[in-house]
Amino acid sequence: MNDINNIFDDKDKEILESTGIDIKRETRSGTFIQSNHSVVSCNIRQDGIEILPTKEALKKYSWLKDLMFKSFNNNVDDFLKNAEKKVSNGYFIYAKKGAKTKYPVQACLYISNDNVEQYVHNFIVAEEGADLHIISGCATSHKVSSALHVGISEFFVGKNAKISFTMIHKWGENVTVTPKSAALVEDNGVFISNYISFEKVKYLKMYPTVYLNGKGSIGRFNSIVFAPEGSHLDLGSRCVLNGVGSKAEIVSRTVSAGGEIIARGHLVGAAKDIKAHLECNGLLLKEKGLIHAIPELEAHLSDVDMSHEAAVGKIAEEEIEYLMSRGLTEEEATSAIVRGFLNVKIEGLPERLEKQIETSLNELSDKFF
Amino acid sequence: MLIIENLKVEVEKREILHGINLRIAKGETHVIFGKNGSGKSTLLMTIMGFSKYKVTSGKIFYKGKDITNLPMYERAKLGLGMAFQRPPSIKGLKTIDMLRLIKRVDEKTEELAKRVDFEKFLYRDLNFGFSGGELKRSELLQLMAQNPDFIMLDEPESGVDVENIKILGKVVRHLLDKNVRIKEGRKKSGLIITHTGYILDYVDADRGHVILDGYLMCSGNPREMFREIQEAGYEKCVSCMLAG
């Protein structure tokens, strides 16, 4: 494994850090970095938690190959089958029974050369009672202008376990990203997935699904997206509530500054006593741009509590003028309101991750306003 | 400090103010009385520069400068400030963040908040879910941070309970430099709309005006005028003053 400092130049290190990756690895329990098709860093600092490149993990743990595609509820379409053939590696993060990450584990998939097609298959497993927080920074080198990333990620949350997965994406201007992910959650397990994107993305299509199979299992998805002109993002989240008393919440806050966003959300109530809510809010800052909110509620029985709210529009004139009456220019007022709109309070996140998201929001304000 | 000449204002193509004349000198605080819908708020919103309020004729001068067509944030930068009757809430923007954005005084944000008993609200979303009294305190706190030279208050005591009016009164006095004994030493001016008149117990207003149906009908001693209004109503007060 090569040293990080030798692989990345200063500008690339800056990009990595802006996705939440701690280059010095001081505030992280473990690190995995794959650049193009090679693993460049893989180490762990905490007992009970293990990180391995997927290929190695498949050799070490015979049960892992049986888990392959299990989280997709065996809905393996042609896309997945073809993608799997091209997989070069990926990461395996494993929290053993009762292990709780002191700091988040960081996983970084990086593309450092032009026209690379990176296919990875990642496995994240939390055994009974474990607590796993992962920050996934995916980015491309400043030298790259065009590339493709396809990530297949499978999450397995055991009984009373918790996995939080936060992705801060900084893709290059002409990178196409089509991740496929799914999660299986057992009794009283909690799965939290946060997706944050503030940069221009040529094309992103993702629609992770979580199967809340266990009794009292909980799923939460938060998407916070700012789409500059030239971006096209088709993102959604789906929660299938199969376990009695399971709960799900999907929050999507999107801002279009000229870019196109399709914001999907799908809640399926298939067991008694479930509670699910979907919130989809979009702000359009310019005449150009598109936000298409598609919330879906699917109830299979009567004993379910499902609701949604969706709203798309421009910033209220009243709010802008209120701030302007205090001496802020129209741009400063817009920036403050957009920041407030995107500043979603995400429950269950470690403080370090909260700070990271705030830092990204500050960068966004500085860059666009 | 503020001179308004023959001001006519239209809102959604309807003329609301029909030629207002008003002069407020530095250090003076004026009070406006009038029925609901008479145009009092319209006057304040026009002076502040809100886009909905179109000046069709007349001028507004502030510190000698013609601000009739100046954009709102520039008027705020020149020293105009306003506390709203029903301010909007901005989810996600915390009160403390707002204060940091507008602060022009040296005093620490937490210290300012203490003065209106508002520390608990610093980390709440601005104005979101605030009661009537809490909204008023939020407005005054922002004005304390902004420190304008010309302060406009739209019904600062409405909806506020007796206990809190005392705190509010103190803050308004401070904002208007009313603690400076000698009138010539005061650098701030104010324009206050009031229905209840309670504010007069805390702030010595220099002059009162009645606005009726978009006309500034008369001016005089604020306490006397308010007594007349309480006894005889707005119309009677006007005709009385005209006669007297």
Q: Extract the tokens encoding A119.
A: 């296919």
What's the pLDDT score for residue B242?
A: 56
- What percentage of chain A reaches a pLDDT higher than 90? 59
Chain A residues whose CB is inside 8 A of the B101 CB are 323, 326, 328, 332, 336
Evaluate if residue B243 carries a pLDDT over 80.
Answer: no
pLDDT in tens, A262-288: 999 999 999 999 999 999 999 999 889
Q: How far apart are the first and last CA of chain B?
A: 29
The answer on pLDDT for A181 being more than 90 is yes
> Tens digit of pLDDT for each residue in A96-120?
999 998 888 889 888 888 888 999 9
Residues of A in contact with B151 (CB under 8 A): none
Residue B194: how many other CB atoms lie within 10 Å: 24
Q: Give the pLDDT band of residue A38 (cuts 50, 70, 90).
A: confident
pLDDT(B153) > 50: yes
Asked if A318 reaches chain B (Cβ–Cβ under 8 Å), the answer is yes
Q: Containing H/E element for B201?
A: none
Residue with the bigger pLDDT between A184 and A29: it is A184
CA distance A252 to chain B (A): 14
pLDDT band for position A3 (50/70/90)?
low
Mutate to test the interface with B, among A226, A283, A324, A326 (most CBs of B within 10 A): A326
pLDDT at A347: 76
Residue recorded with tokens 């992910």:
A181
Q: Report the pLDDT value the prediction gives residue A2, as an integer from 0 to 100.
A: 47
Percentage of chain B lying above the pLDDT 90 cut: 56
Q: Is the pLDDT of residue B25 over 90?
A: yes
B129: contact with A, CB 8 A cutoff = no
A135/A21: higher pLDDT: A135
Put simply, whether B98 touches A (Cβ < 8 Å) is: yes
Yes or no, beta carbons of A322 and B51 under 8 Å apart: no
Using a CB–CB cutoff of 8 Å, tell me whether A322 touches chain B: yes
Question: CB–CB of A325 and B77 under 8 A?
Answer: no
Q: Among B106, B207, B130, B116, which Cα is nearest to B170's?
A: B116
Q: Please report the residues numbered 332 through 351 in chain A whose beta carbons come closer than 8 angstroms to any beta carbon of chain B.
A: 332, 336-337, 339-344
* Domains of chain B with CATH codes: 2-243 (3.40.50.300)
Work out the minimum CA distance from B29 to partner chain A, whole angstroms. Answer: 20
